[in-house]
Amino acid sequence: MNSHQMSYVSDKLAKFFYKAVSVPNHNFRQGILESIHDIFGYQRVTYWVSDNNNELIDPYYINVEHDIMESYEKIYYKYDPMRFKNLKKGHKKRYTLLINDIVDKEVYAKQNVYYRDILGKYDYINKMALYLKGKDCILGGISLLRKSNEPIFTMQDVYVMELVAKFLSNLMQEHEETKKSAVKNEFFSEYINYQADGLMIINDKKEIVYMNKGAQEALYDLAENKKDSFSIDSFAEMLYNKKIFLNEYTFEVNGYKICVNGKKIYNNLFYAINFTKCMDSMEIVTEKKIAYQTKLSKKRERSGILLNKRHVKL
């Protein structure tokens, strides 16, 4: 790029970066899409977020046909050569790729089922993908589409979008941290004052994000005080094996009523597990113990009398 091009690019990037940091969290992807469209002039843009399996879901898009997005999410993502999971190891290090970086464009147009069945209907032969990455995962992805009669993506496009992708990757990580705090606060505020003897909260990765003393005591009671052989993670595993999702699930075990509530907040799934001592169950158990001990004492007493009588007779 010459000095004039560099000045032009720098001006565009400065406007975009300023706009991006000003977009509120609740409207982030829509704001970013509009900024890419308005500032850089890309007409067809999609923006996806990643799930826990590094698959892109829940797209926002501008000027892209709805049936493309719907079909891609349901079936055709598997056949997309630009899907992050389909990339070679070397390509996964990149933040920006063109379709012809991965496959021959003519082969792609003739043989790829995703292009033949979906993109080809609208002549979207030119595609650029931006990979928004965290430390150990993919956070999201942006794609830009152009038809065969439109200008191809240039190296300047790649250079600019590489900077955009790196910037958005950092910004998304910051947003994720902020969102996690907000999610925890919202979830805790709902359940922290719940009337129970103990509260434990786990996320959809089976990680304990909160546990009070009452929950610890309940779990140790349930493990019969075998602290050295008891794992709290095993309890979380047990809940998942019961396939508890968003519905409330209540069960009793060893004198405790355990109520599990699942809740999804900003695509994050949490489970609140409340432990309450069952007074009725404890009273029944105590009454049974007393009855048994009384019965045993009377039996022993009768046995003692018979022995005495026998002794007398002897």
Report domain extents, the chain: 3-182, 192-279
Contacts of 229 (CB under 8 A, 6+ apart): 223
Please determine whether the domains at 3-182 and 192-279 fall in the same fold group of CATH.
yes
Sequence-distant (6+) residues with CB within 8 A of 246 are 262, 263, 264, 269
Higher pLDDT, 158 or 2: 158
Predicted confidence band of residue 240 (pLDDT cuts 50, 70, 90): low
Q: Which two tokens stand for residue 273?
A: 């597990």
The residue-averaged pLDDT of 203-232 equals 71
Task: Summarize the confidence of residues 292-310 as an average pLDDT.
Answer: 44
Global model pTM greater than 0.85: no
pLDDT computed for residue 303 by the predictor: 44
Residue 8 vs residue 283, higher pLDDT? 8
- Residues ≥6 apart with Cβ < 8 Å to 205: 52
180: amino acid identity, one letter = K
Classified by CATH at the fold level, domain 3-182 comes out as Beta-Lactamase (3.30.450)
Confidence (pLDDT) at 157: 95
Position 115: which residue type? Y
The pLDDT value recorded for residue 289 is 45
Q: Report residue 54's pLDDT band, with 50, 70 and 90 as the boundaries.
A: confident
Confidence (pLDDT) at 307? 34
Give the β-pairing of 208-211 and 96-98: unpaired
> Of residues 25 and 122, which shows the higher confidence score?
122
Confidence at residue 264, expressed as pLDDT on a 0 to 100 scale: 72
Question: Where does residue 19 rank: exposed (0-12), middle (13-18), buried (19+ CB within 10 A)?
Answer: middle
Domain 192-279 has what CATH class? alpha beta
